[in-house]
Structure 1
Amino acid sequence: MLPLVVNAQYVRDLSFENPNAPASLMNAQQPKVDLQVDVQARNVAENVHEVALNIRAEASHEGRTAFIVELSYAGIFSMPPMPLDQTRAVLLIEAPRLLFPFARSIVSDAVRDGGFPPLMLQPLDFVDLYRRQVLASEKPEDMAQA
């Protein structure tokens, strides 16, 4: 078991838009939802890192936006020194895995409070997201500050 300590969790930024209300609220059909997820990590002190889980969901119906919700949910994590590749994996897989249930609840509540049925995000595969991020960057120095 990794000695990863969660020191704090917080909403960094939260936005909900309902640009076509009230018409968007009168549609009984399920909108199409485009979901984007990104994880960022940065060093804030020796062996202390901030990890931000960024979620953006845009729902549309017949080409019109029903709602847009954006959340940046972050945590401060402490962990012992370890090799860079292990640090990256812990910060970009394990840390967001711990943050996700809280972020999921915030997104669901924001959508519900905006007048729509709650948006229930399915569990995310952070290992796959990490692999895609690493393949996209192909530059180990990008996370040297992690």
Structure 2
Amino acid sequence: MADETPEAGAAAAPEAAAQQTPPQLKIRTQYVKDVSFENIAAQKGFTPTTPPQIKVGVNLDAKKNGDNLYEVILTLKVNAEAADQPVFLMELDYAGTFEIENVPDAQMHPFLMIECPRMLFPFARRIVSDMTRDGGYPPVNIDPIDFIALYRNEILRRQQAQAAAAPSGTA
């Protein structure tokens, strides 16, 4: 048998591992924060003769609720029109409470706006599908959302708005 001797760097390995702990994300709760389905066509006695045009709006919000606890809200607004007449309007605020650890402060905002909504989306998508079906229409199956692109577009929009609002420095 060969003698086993610890390497010189072996003692430093546990300290390095402790410093490089990977991010941890735990979903504490998921819930419908607010939901509304307005069947406009049925209320007005309007029967669409053509398939409605569906528009989906997405909004995100997040806030800190305590040590390592964050609430993230995914808002989906589904608007259907046929022949320039409103058919239905559905709004859903689907939220989750997340416990997040080992994410640097500089990376927390993108983490909240990308990773957390990505986890909530399949559940919100199912609710939209069920509600539109229960409202008497074919189920609306929302296409997957690229939360990275959505985040980047919002950052770009904010930068452009700040640049437009800033007074010009030329005399």
Aligned partners of 1:52, 1:84: CA distance in 2, in Å?
20
Question: Is residue 156 of structure 2 the alignment partner of residue 135 of structure 1?
Answer: yes
Secondary structure of the corresponding residue to residue 91 of structure 2: strand
Q: Determine whether 1:9 maps to 2:30.
A: yes
Check the 8 A contact 1:108/1:120 in 2, yes or no.
Answer: yes
The 5 A counterparts of 1:80-95 are 80-95=101-116
Partner of 1:141: none
Provide structure 2 residue ranges, at least 5 long, that are not aligned to the other structure. 1-21, 160-171
Residue 14 of structure 1 deviates from its aligned partner by: 0.4
Q: Which amino acid aligns with 2:60?
A: V
Deviation at 1:90, TM superposition (A): 1.2
Q: Please list the CA deviations of residues 65-114 of structure 1 after superposition, one character each: whole Å capped at 9, or x if unmatched.
A: 01101000000001114323311111100100000000000001110010
Query: Deviation at 1:28?
Result: 4.8
Rg larger for: 2
What's 1:45 paired with?
66
Match of 2:77 in 1: 56
Aligned to 2:126: 105
Q: Deviation of residue 43 (structure 1)?
A: 0.4
Q: Give the aligned CA root-mean-square deviation in angstroms.
A: 1.5
TM-score, normalization: structure 2?
0.75
- Contact conserved, 2:23 with 2:101, CA < 8 A, in 1? no
Counterparts of 2:89 and 2:80 in 1: how far apart (Å)? 6
User: Deviation at 1:136?
Assistant: 2.5
Q: Structure 1 residue 126 and structure 2 residue 141: aligned?
A: no
Aligned mates of 2:133, 2:23 — CA distance in 1 = 36
Q: Counterpart of 2:40?
A: 19
The answer to whether the Cα contact below 8 Å between 1:50 and 1:77 also exists between their aligned partners in 2 is: yes
Corresponding residue for residue 51 of structure 2? 30
User: In 2, distance between residues paired with 1:85 and 1:117?
Assistant: 43
- Structure-1 residue corresponding to 2:7: none
Q: Is the 8 A contact 1:54 1:73 kept in 2?
A: yes
Unpaired stretches in structure 1, ≥5 consecutive residues: 139-146
Would you say the 8 A contact 1:41–1:92 is kept in 2? yes
